[in-house]
Amino acid sequence: MHGLNHFNDAKAFIQHIQQQVNKQIWYVVAWGSLNGFLTGLGILLILPLLSLTTIEVPNSVDSIGFRFPDNWSFGVQLTVVLGLYFLLISLSVWVNRKATLASVTLLQKYVKRLRDELFQHIFQSSLADVWMDSQSRYSSLFTVEIGRISLGVQGIVNLVTTLLVALPQILIAFYLSPGLTTYVMIGGILLFIGLYRSMKRVRQLGHSLQHLNLGLQQAVQDQLNGLKEIKSYGAEVQHVADFQRTTDQIQQNLIDYTSQQTRADSFYKVGAALLISLFLGIGLLAFHYEMASLLVILLIFSRLWPAFSSAQRHIQSVLTALPSFEVYQHTVSRLHQEETGEPSEALMFEQQLRFEKVSYRYPNHEQDALKEIDVTIQAGTMVALTGPSGAGKSTMVDLLLQFIEPDSGRIVVDGQPLTTADRAAWLSSIAYVPQHPYLFYGTIEENIRKWNPDLSDIELEQALQMADATFVYELPDGLQTRIGDFGHSLSGGERQRVVLARALAKRPRLLIMDEATRAVDEAQESKIFETLQALTGEMTIVYITHRRDIARLADQEICLTGGRIVERGEVIESV
């Protein structure tokens, strides 16, 4: 039963490779076949070379046309044989190079498509689907797991190449001595069957290693992200010990895998030595085979046994890769890409935006996060969303950004219902500043221009001024200052002002700020708020804040509690 599962999983793996890089597979097969053919010719050249010695050659040499004319001198015969050998080796080297390049091209193309497919599914799926897995799982897939899958693909390619090279040599051996060749092949098959249990163990180790690698990724990410908190609790020793336990398990797993691999390799080598010894003894003593035939067959199998041992390792590589491939396939199949349909005309939001009886409940929750929300937001105004934590403010923002879809009700922009087909057009007119600003490792200027590639220097300066982020010019390298991962070289307030400048540089029709000024002091927040008020004729601003004094300066204040809109503690139908 386990063997059938191995076969079915490997079959699915190979079919997926074929679907992704079908044309390239045939290049690999073609060059590998030619390489095997040339290798077989090289072995056949041994027969005419032996005919130049005192060793008696088999009658099969005559049947394949390798007898030299009687009037050729020894020197001419030797020159012809060595010349053919040189030409054959030169051609074989060139073909082998082509075969290697074809294999590497197939491997890299397949790995690229895996990464591209996974990345595309992540960014074209709903956030609810993406959030079902941790970031560390995706990081592990992009790096460790796809790396292991690539080793499995390499194992399949090498296995195919090995078989293509071995086949002509086996045919030659059968031609020279069917009986002895059959004996050796049966011995090889028995050795392979004897290692079946070892292959099952390799598959188990592959599963274990996949889980351990995920745990390692999770530990690294969690503990680096929580470094400040860990140090504040003085818990460094405990976390280092937890991390070391994970790395100890990975170390032992890799040692066990190497042990299984070398055990199979050693078993093959010892078995090969035994079979070849018996082969020579039986051939000479029992069957009285010609020495030339035995030497050629011995040469063939002395070359094939390392190939058989390599084939065993290639199969182990495939078995080790299957758990990673299964995890990859499961993740991609779960990330349902959203249907966007035909793109609609751009939604400019020139009149009003309405929430009409909008309700939403998060999965596995018993109560609605929002309940029958009716809200009208006029274009070119500022709206402040207030309320306690968990009131539904961020849920309203997520609905506006179409990160989630209403369970009931609808959102209407200028009389047109907002659908998933409108997402690209709608988001192109929106800028969003979250609670926790996202900055990547790079310069301040790169962090702003990445989202606004056509931004002029003057527009960049204006955006920094509106966001009260001119502090960047006082840094040692100004706009070229590198800010580290997540912008950790800046203070919290500085990070939020840089992200606000990035949003304002877009000149959006709708600016959404989700507590985007919580890390700045009151004076800075008031100054930013005044700047935003001056921009309300140009854009609509939805502003989440806990400060009621700031919220009352907006054109409209919407206070939420328990997923409903309230005012002075009373439930109202609309605002």
The domain that contains 539 carries what CATH number?
3.40.50.300
Q: Report CA 12 to chain centroid distance, whole Å.
A: 18
Residues 417 and 522 occupy one common structural domain: yes
Position with higher pLDDT, 477 vs 289: 477
CB 311 within 8 A of CB 162: yes
Domain boundary among 308, 334, 360: 334
Residues 448 and 315 occupy one common structural domain: no
Residues 174-230 pLDDT 10s:
776 676 677 667 766 776 666 656 656 665 666 676 666 666 767 676 666 666 667
| 565 strand-pairing partners | 560
**Residue 289 forms part of a structural domain:** yes
Q: Burial, 565: exposed, middle or buried (Cβ in 10 Å; 0-12, 13-18, 19+)? A: buried
Determine the Cα–Cα distance for residues 144 and 150; give it in Å rounded to an integer. Answer: 10
Cβ count near 539 (within 10 Å): 22
Residue with tokens 């035909």: 342
Does residue 379 sit in helix, strand or coil?
Answer: coil
Average pLDDT, the chain: 76
**Residue 385 forms part of a structural domain:** yes
Residues 304 and 237 occupy one common structural domain: yes
At 570 the pLDDT is 38
Q: Tokens standing for 375?
A: 């809200």
- E strand residue ranges, 258-343: none
At 360 the pLDDT is 92
**Residue 344 forms part of a structural domain:** no
Whether this prediction's pTM lies above 0.75 is answered by: no
Q: Tokens standing for 528?
A: 């930013």
**Residue 42 forms part of a structural domain:** yes
Q: Tokens standing for 273?
A: 């030595």
Domain boundary among 306, 334, 362: 334
Predicted confidence (pLDDT) at residue 334 exceeds the cutoff of 50: yes
Residues 26 and 171 occupy one common structural domain: yes
Predicted confidence (pLDDT) at residue 172 exceeds the cutoff of 80: no
Q: Report CA 505 to chain centroid distance, whole Å.
A: 33
Residues 107 and 204 occupy one common structural domain: yes
Residues 523-536 pLDDT 10s:
777 777 777 777 77
Sheet of 370-378: strands edge to edge? Answer: 370-378, 352-360, 408-413, 416-417
**Residue 8 forms part of a structural domain:** no
Residues 300 and 373 occupy one common structural domain: no
> Rounded mean pLDDT of 314-329?
83
CB 570 within 8 A of CB 560: no
Predicted confidence (pLDDT) at residue 336 exceeds the cutoff of 80: no
DSSP letters, 445-488, are: HHHHHTT-TT--HHHHHHHHHHTT-GGGGGSTTGGG-B--GGGT
Share of the chain above pLDDT 90, in %: 4
CB 483 within 8 A of CB 490: yes
Q: For the domain that residue 41 is a member of, what is the CATH number?
A: 1.20.1560.10
Residues 29-68 pLDDT 10s:
788 778 777 776 766 666 665 555 554 555 554 444 456 6
**Residue 110 forms part of a structural domain:** yes
Domain housing 150: 13-334
Q: Burial, 151: exposed, middle or buried (Cβ in 10 Å; 0-12, 13-18, 19+)? A: middle
Q: Tokens standing for 297?
A: 């067959």
Element holding 271 (H helix, E strand)? helix 236-281
Q: What backbone torsions phi and psi does residue 377 show, to the nearest 5 degrees?
A: -115, 115
**Residue 18 forms part of a structural domain:** yes
> Rounded mean pLDDT of 261-265?
66
Distant-in-sequence, close-in-space partners of 238: CB < 8 Å, separation ≥ 6: none
Q: Report CA 283 to chain centroid distance, whole Å.
A: 54
At 311 the pLDDT is 74
Predicted confidence (pLDDT) at residue 519 exceeds the cutoff of 70: no
Of residues 489, 502, 493, 487, the one with CA closest to residue 524: 493
Determine the Cα–Cα distance for residues 58 and 307; give it in Å rounded to an integer. Answer: 27
At 288 the pLDDT is 60
Residues 340-382 pLDDT 10s:
445 455 567 888 899 999 999 888 888 888 998 898 899 888 8
Predicted confidence (pLDDT) at residue 88 exceeds the cutoff of 60: yes
Residues 128-167 pLDDT 10s:
677 777 777 788 788 888 888 888 888 888 888 777 777 7
Residues 164 and 281 occupy one common structural domain: yes
Q: How many domains are contained in the chain?
A: 2
Domain boundary among 334, 369, 397: 334
Residues 246 and 194 occupy one common structural domain: yes
Residues 432 and 555 occupy one common structural domain: yes
CA distances to 115, 135, 137, 142, 318 from 146, in Å: 8, 16, 12, 6, 13
CB 294 within 8 A of CB 50: no
Residues 366 and 321 occupy one common structural domain: no
> Rounded mean pLDDT of 308-322?
77
**Residue 391 pLDDT level (bands cut at 50, 70, 90):** confident
Q: Report CA 119 to chain centroid distance, whole Å.
A: 7
Residues 400 and 327 occupy one common structural domain: no
At 408 the pLDDT is 92
**Residue 343 forms part of a structural domain:** no
Distant-in-sequence, close-in-space partners of 322: CB < 8 Å, separation ≥ 6: 6, 9, 10, 13, 152, 203, 206
Of residues 428, 278, 224, the one with CA closest to residue 345: 428
Residues 358 and 256 occupy one common structural domain: no
**Residue 298 pLDDT level (bands cut at 50, 70, 90):** low
Q: Tokens standing for 389?
A: 């934590």
